[in-house]
Amino acid sequence: MSADLEQRLADLDEHGLRRRMRLVSGPQGSRVVLDGKPVLLLCSNNYLGLAEHQKVREAASEAALRYGAGAGASRLVSGTMSVHRKLEAALAEFKGTESTVLFGSGYLANLGVVSALATAGGRDTVVFSDALNHASIIDGCRLANAQTVVYDHCDTEHLALLMEQYSGRPQIIVTDSVFSMDGDIAPLAEIAELKARHGARLIVDEAHGTGCCGPGGRGAVADAGLPEGAVDVLVGTLGKALGSYGAFAACSATMADFLTNTSRPLIFSTAPPPPAVAAALAALELVQTEPGHTTRLQANAETLRAALAREGFEIVGSSTQIIPLIVGDAALAMRICELAIEGGVFAQAIRPPTVPDGTSRLRLAVMASHTKAELREAATVLGKAALQAGFRPASGLPVAATQGAGASSPRALRAVRAA
Ligand SMILES: *Cc1c(COP(=O)(O)O)cnc(C)c1O
């Protein structure tokens, strides 16, 4: 009955691409028990350690007692509660926009924002998407059935050329700010300039920027100092630095109204649960009142990068808390991951289709709650694991492949492609 599925799983196995869920016991701290074994956690997006912060937990439990476990309906029926409104107001103030709209998750937010805007422009709309954008952006283009043109990673010359080629049609540019698998930052000033020149719309996904970089942790867009109105919709998630679950779109009041009326993942899905919303609100307050969380995260990222360099790893491109160790081969990445776990460090191997073919990697994610000693020790463990697996860090791959940049995006991807 399910022989075809078993065959498909066996194929994945053979290519080193079979996935399974590992089990973490207890909260998402800097040290966890993984499948029964204590390890240092080096691949969680709980960057600021706020998921297990006492104040955030208390906010969630108080909200559960006050508002209940669930919102009971979608935002447009009876699911909009005072706690949703409070968080939307706080996020708008944090991001410096007129409005924000909460979504169920970052995945749903991208799906909803990209598809709603692509549909609004009509059939002629062209979406320009960075080659390394998150899967949820790609799926948003699919949902809209929009023509999608992929430009080389962070390559604004390529983007300019393509926008020229498609001039006269409604255009949307969409990009991650901090790239989820490479930890580099999009050239937002140049992108905003192109957007203005062509009268396009710009959507920026700050899933990994919010709380982690920029003035007061306000993100990479705030850091870029873009002119007013440069970004039409800024998407952020509550599930990463803010330690909870859910997401938001920060934008003008008109845009918020438009999304509320047209974004299908918002309209046809239950509103985020009050405990998650209250937790994010408490986390946002901590980001603003205790800037030490963000500055510690940045200092920790520096420490890990330096320690990895001493081990001979080539770190190119990453300037954030996300640090990729690019290995290339999927099975080899898995082997290094398993050996590192034996050594007490958990850094998940990331393989295609999450990253382009031939760029399998260990994606390291630093947390503010790591100590410097833990990070130095982790670098040593990873260096040993790499050697033991037969991977020579410094010479494993040409530098180009570790740039994550244009260099690692397969040529095939740069071809104009209709989604
Ligand atoms: C994680 C991530 C998302 C999805 O956010 P969730 O809240 O986890 O659904 C969207 N965009 C990027 C760039 C991400 O890394």
Nearest-CA residue for ligand 1 atom 5 is 106
Considering the chain, what percentage of its residues have pLDDT values greater than 90? 89
The average confidence (pLDDT) of the chain is: 92
Nearest-CA residue for ligand 1 atom 8 is 106
Question: What is the reported pLDDT for 419?
Answer: 30
Atom of ligand 1 nearest to the CA of 246: 7
Question: What is the reported pLDDT for 146?
Answer: 87
Atom of ligand 1 nearest to the CA of 180: 15
Question: What is the reported pLDDT for 418?
Answer: 31
User: Once rounded to an integer, what is the mean pLDDT over residues 263-272?
Assistant: 96
Q: For every residue of the chain, which 3-state class applies, written as one string?
A: CCHHHHHHHHHHHHCCCCCCCCCEECCCCCEEEECCEEEEECECCCCCCHHHCHHHHHHHHHHHHHHCCCCCCEHHHHHCCHHHHHHHHHHHHHHCCCEEEEECCHHHHHHHHHHHHHHHCCCCCEEEEECCCCHHHHHHHHHHCCEEEEECCCCHHHHHHHHHHCCCCCEEEEEECECCCCCCECCHHHHHHHHHHHCCEEEEECCCCCCCCCHHHCCHHHHHCCCCCCCCEEEEECCCCCCCCCEEEEECHHHHHHHHHHCHHHHCCECCCHHHHHHHHHHHHHHHHCCHHHHHHHHHHHHHHHHHHHCCCCCCCCCCCEEEEEEECHHHHHHHHHHHHHCCEECCEECCCCCCCCCEEEEEECCCCCCHHHHHHHHHHHHHHHHHCCCCHHHCCCHHHHCCCHHHCCHHHHCCCCC
The Å distance, Cα 310 to ligand 1 centre, comes to 31
Ligand 1 pocket test, pick from 28, 46, 134 with the greatest ligand atom count within 8 Å of Cβ, gives 134
The Å distance, Cα 180 to ligand 1 centre, comes to 8
How does pLDDT run across 15-68, given as a tens digit for each residue? 889 999 999 998 989 999 999 999 999 999 999 999 999 999 999 999 999 999
The Å distance, Cα 207 to ligand 1 centre, comes to 6
CA distances from 173 to 125, 143, 313, 412 (A): 11, 16, 34, 20
The Å distance, Cα 387 to ligand 1 centre, comes to 32
Please say if the pLDDT value at position 404 is more than 50.
no
How does pLDDT run across 214-228, given as a tens digit for each residue? 999 999 999 999 998
CATH of segment(s) 53-289: 3.40.640.10
Q: How confident is the model at residue 393 (pLDDT cuts 50, 70, 90)?
A: low
Contact 169, 125 (CB under 8 A): yes
List all residues whose CB is within 6 A of at least one atom of ligand 1.
105-107, 110, 134, 136, 176, 180, 205, 207-208, 237, 239, 247
Please say if the pLDDT value at position 76 is more than 70.
yes
411 or 184, which is more confident: 184
Ligand 1 pocket test, pick from 240, 354, 363 with the greatest ligand atom count within 8 Å of Cβ, gives 240
CA 201, CA 312: separation in Å to the nearest integer?
Answer: 42
| Fold adopted by 20-51+292-415 | Aspartate Aminotransferase, domain 1 (3.90.1150)
Q: How confident is the model at residue 394 (pLDDT cuts 50, 70, 90)?
A: low
Please say if the pLDDT value at position 139 is more than 80.
yes
Considering the chain, what percentage of its residues have pLDDT values greater than 70? 94
Nearest-CA residue for ligand 1 atom 14 is 207
The Å distance, Cα 312 to ligand 1 centre, comes to 31
Helix axes 54-67, 274-289, angle to 10 degrees: 150
The overall pTM is greater than 0.85: yes
**Could you confirm whether 240 is annotated as catalytic?**
yes
Question: What is the reported pLDDT for 397?
Answer: 46
Contact 265, 103 (CB under 8 A): yes
Question: What is the reported pLDDT for 369?
Answer: 97
**Could you confirm whether 86 is annotated as catalytic?**
no
Domain edges within the chain: 20-51+292-415, 53-289
**Could you confirm whether 15 is annotated as catalytic?**
no
The Å distance, Cα 122 to ligand 1 centre, comes to 27
Question: What is the reported pLDDT for 68?
Answer: 97
